[in-house]
Amino acid sequence: MNLRLQSPAFWLTIVLAGAGLVMPVVGLADEVPPDSFAEIRFRAGDYAKALPLYEEQLAASQDLQARAHALFQIGQCLTGLQKYKEAVGKFDELVARFPTSSAATSALLRKGCLQAGVLKQTKEGLATWETLIEKYPRSTLVPEASFYMGMVEWVQGHKQAAREIWQTLERNYPQHPRTAMAKLYLQKGKS
């Protein structure tokens, strides 16, 4: 990735990376035993060896949540291997095959981060987060998606759009940690 220090894409990537959203995240959608060989490989950062193990889990398991988790982790491994477009495809597949699984919202959040961050497809990333918010309004990831939507707008210079998104975040989730971060940006914008 060749980013200039002052470019909006640079700052957006820094924010998303700082949040762990343009690199694999261990905590999202963890619902299978952490002692499986795939999980051990994944947690060690050995994504190339974890990937085929998750593919085996996906093919062999009869449990829908375990299969959804395996597919999510496949997307995570592809992210770790910097195969971002393939990861987005796996997150799409997860949402299509397992829309009611708890991993579906995590997949949409991750997909949006990859799109808006390293793939530089900000419109698509915003649309993905909007889908998460509309299809899963009770998800605990809605405040995260809202914050990132505001962040993308802010970095692109659309300060008013960011303010509106973050004011809605503040109104709906006043105690969420992302609300506090949004308030900092809003205060910075006034000075």
Is pLDDT at 191 greater than 90 in this prediction? no
What would the mean pLDDT of 67-96 be, rounded to a whole number?
A: 97
State whether the Cα torsion 65-84-158-19 is positive or negative: positive
* Per-residue pLDDT at 32: 47
Lowest mean pLDDT among 3-17, 63-77, 133-147: 3-17
Is pLDDT at 11 greater than 80 in this prediction? no
Is pLDDT at 72 greater than 90 in this prediction? yes
Give the long-range contacts of residues 51-55, CB within 8 A, separation 24 or more: 51/77, 51/78, 51/81
* Per-residue pLDDT at 188: 80
Is pLDDT at 110 greater than 50 in this prediction? yes
Torsion of CA 97, 98, 100, 101, to 10 degrees: -170
Q: How far apart are CA 37 and CA 21, in angstroms?
A: 24
Which helix (H) or strand (E) element contains residue 163?
helix 159-172
Is pLDDT at 15 greater than 80 in this prediction? no
Q: What is the DSSP string of 19-72?
A: TT-SS--SSTT--S-TTSHHHHHHHTT-HHHHHHHHHHHHHH---HHHHHHHHH
Architecture of domain 8-190: Alpha Horseshoe (1.25)
